[in-house]
């Protein structure tokens, strides 16, 4: 339980440092659907979605990878020019 709380704080720091704010603001409904598992691929009730994310905190690397894959986090080694290029079609 303590490890999950540590991972939650680490995730907060990662999102604060590498979060793609432009994409988050542009596609807020998509992010909310992603968090609450409301899409067609991974549909869960609210309670099951919260348990799912709580269990995902066991392995923070997988959770960060998923957020990077969907574009909500920038990669760790991108510069400002590459970040602008990624968001040019928003």
Q: What is the pLDDT at residue 66?
A: 86
- For range 5-21, the mean pLDDT: 92
Q: Domain of 50?
A: 2-86
| CB distance 70 to 20 below 8 Å | no
Q: What is the pLDDT at residue 76?
A: 84
The values of phi and psi at residue 68, to 5°, are -70, -40
What mean pLDDT value characterizes the chain?
87
Domain count of the fold of the chain: 1
Q: What is the CA radius of gyration of the chain?
A: 14
Token couple for 20: 């793609």
Residue 13 reports pLDDT greater than 90:
yes
Q: What is the pLDDT at residue 16?
A: 93
Rounded distance, CA 11 to CA 6, Å? 9
Residue 90 reports pLDDT greater than 80:
no
Report pTM: 0.77
């Amino acid at each position: 339980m303590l490890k999950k709380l540590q991972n939650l704080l680490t995730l907060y720091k990662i999102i604060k440092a590498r979060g793609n704010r432009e994409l988050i603001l542009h596609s807020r409904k998509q992010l909310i659907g992603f968090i609450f598992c409301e899409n067609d691929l991974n549909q869960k009730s609210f309670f099951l979605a919260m348990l799912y994310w709580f269990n995902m905190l066991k392995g923070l690397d997988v959770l960060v990878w998923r957020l990077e894959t969907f574009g909500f986090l920038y990669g760790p080694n991108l510069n400002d020019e590459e970040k602008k290029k990624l968001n040019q079609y928003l």
